[in-house]
Amino acid sequence: MIEPAERLSIRLTINGRVVEREVSARRSLADFLREDLGLTGTHVGCEHGVCGACTVFVDGKSARSCLLFAVQLDGATVTTIEGLTPPEGLSPLQQAFCAAHAMQCGFCTPGMVVAATELLEKNPSPSTEEIREALGGQLCMCTGYVNIVRAVTEAAAARRGHAGVAE
Amino acid sequence: MKPAPFRYARPRSLADAVELLASAGDEVKILAGGQSLVPMLNLRLARPSVLIDLNGVPGLDQITPGSDGGLAIGALARHAALASSASVMERAPLLAEAARHVGHPAIRHRGTLGGSLAHADPAAELPAALVALGAELVLRSRRGARAIQASEFFLGLMTTALVPGEILLEIRVARQAQGWGFAEVARRAGDFALAGVVALVDRAAGSSRRCEFARLVGFGVGDRPVRFTAAEEILTSGDPSAALSRAAAAAAEACDPPDDVHASAEYRRHLVAVLTEQAVSQALERLDGARPA
């Protein structure tokens, strides 16, 4: 039978790259990304699951990286804001955030983009109410919500227009 | 805001998990979805020396429809799975609705039914729904398995009937009553509710009476899910729509809500009356729709 340990080796895929490390059991995924891997796009706000700034994708679903320990993710696939950003430039959703002035201090933006990405993948034509519901767990302490909702609305419209042209 | 050091193990079988739990001593916590436990660790409100992660045990998240019309739900079934499962929506729609009201999408992807029950926050939706549904919980330890009614599982504020060495393994519910309602008030969507009420009503096929069975449970209004038995009797003893306001008053009378920075006890009691009317009205409408009188 396995014994509980204070340090463990993990192997996981982050933004398409396989990463192997030995980590302390108490290391959160958020701190693992930022401190051990230098992926500082994931922001750490409240550290108890309330603010949503640290939201990333774990095995394709959004999750709070401050509420997961890195040791839990042996074998998992993680995508952060860095993984959602093209090698050059910005994704259409990120461009929409810029165009709509949907960031003030920018602290909540990575989590907002992760949550909005998930919404648009599930629901290409969200209503304003559905956008607000999907982003309800992401706090913007600048209270810039109006422009954030506008950015997602416009990104959704652009996505649909683009798909229409492609067809 | 970092947890105190702990040791961690991820057993690959239930037998290993049970053994680890038995041998790890008193300072052990089980990690399921971690959406309540990890905040407590980060805030150092809990400082276990060992965490046993159940996520490596295969099959604990299964939702299995039984031949009796009920459901057997593994303790690691996620809120998102309960909210979207066709068999839960068909056999226990109240449970699916309660799961939709827990937190936000990222929380519902990780949080588990068993974790919510074992955490036993009195303002949580799922414990109240399971008390209303008359759920049976299966607990497992080195000594074997035992079953306990949900209504007997919750002993007080964040206190359950789980004893050291026990794992909450499975939740069993029978096919739900046809009429059901869910109502809560929270400051923001996804917050813990200031108060909430779940309602179930039913009657036998062909019965001339509108309601022969009623089950009302409140959350956020006591130290555990609170059943409103006096209000239930009012609903089943006459025309329930005429008795609605009397039942609502009886429910408000029966609870002893907390008085804190979020809301006064008096306001919460007022909410219980309003929410009872809303939940019962929804339930009666669904019952009438399901089986025209």
Cβ pair B133, B198 in contact under 8 A: no
How far is the C-alpha of B163 from the C-alpha of B222, rounded, in Å?
A: 23
Chain A CB contacts of B103 under 8 Å are: 137
Contact B8 A71 (CB under 8 A): yes
For the segment A82-100, the average pLDDT, to the nearest whole number, is 97
Cβ pair A56, A62 in contact under 8 A: yes
- Give pLDDT tens digits for A5-59: 999 999 999 999 999 999 999 999 999 999 999 999 999 999 999 999 999 999 9
What is the reported pLDDT for A111?
98
Contact B2 A67 (CB under 8 A): no
Is CATH 3.30.43.10 the classification given to domain B7-56? Answer: yes
How far is the C-alpha of B51 from the C-alpha of A127, rounded, in Å?
A: 42
Which DSSP symbol is given to B174? P
For the segment B96-113, the average pLDDT, to the nearest whole number, is 97
Name the H helices within B142-217: 150-153
Write out the two tokens for B4. Answer: 């105190």
CA distance A1 to chain B (A): 7
Q: In the predicted model, what is the mean pLDDT of chain B?
A: 95
What is the reported pLDDT for B293?
45
The full set of domain ranges for chain B reads 7-56, 63-173, 179-287
Closest CA to B66 of B91, B41, B93: B91
What is the reported pLDDT for A163?
58
Contact A26 B11 (CB under 8 A): no
Is CATH 3.30.390.50 the classification given to domain B179-287? Answer: yes
Residue ranges of domains in chain A, CATH in brackets: 7-83 (3.10.20.30), 92-166 (1.10.150.120)
Tally of CA atoms within 13 A in the half-sphere of B150 that contains its CB:
26
For the segment B98-117, the average pLDDT, to the nearest whole number, is 97
Q: Give the Å distances, CA to CA, from B15 to B12, B112, B117.
A: 9, 21, 22
Give bridge partners of residue B173 from the DSSP assignment: B71
Q: Is B220 left (phi over 0), alpha (psi -120 to 50) or beta?
A: left
Task: Examine the pLDDT at A165 and tell me if it is beyond 70.
Answer: no
Write out the two tokens for A40. Answer: 């500082």
* Closest-approach residue (CA) in chain A for B19: A1
More confident residue, B53 or B210: B53
Neighbours of B217 (CB within 10 A): 26
**Can you tell me the ipTM of this complex?**
0.94
CA distance A116 to chain B (A): 11
How far is the C-alpha of A46 from the C-alpha of A49, rounded, in Å?
A: 7
Q: Where are the beta strands (DSSP E) in chain B?
A: 7-9, 28-31, 50-53, 63-65, 71-74, 136-141, 144-149, 154-156, 159-160, 167-173, 179-185, 195-202, 213-219, 226-227
What percent of chain B stands above pLDDT 70?
99
* Closest-approach residue (CA) in chain B for A118: B105
What is the amino acid identity at position B209? R
CATH of domain B63-173: 3.30.465.10
- Give pLDDT tens digits for B206-252: 777 778 999 999 999 999 999 999 999 999 998 888 899 999 999 99
Measured N-to-C along each axis, helices B265-290 and B244-254 cross at an angle, to the nearest 10 degrees, of: 140
Compute φ and ψ for B41, nearest 5 degrees. -70, -45
Cβ pair B194, B187 in contact under 8 A: yes
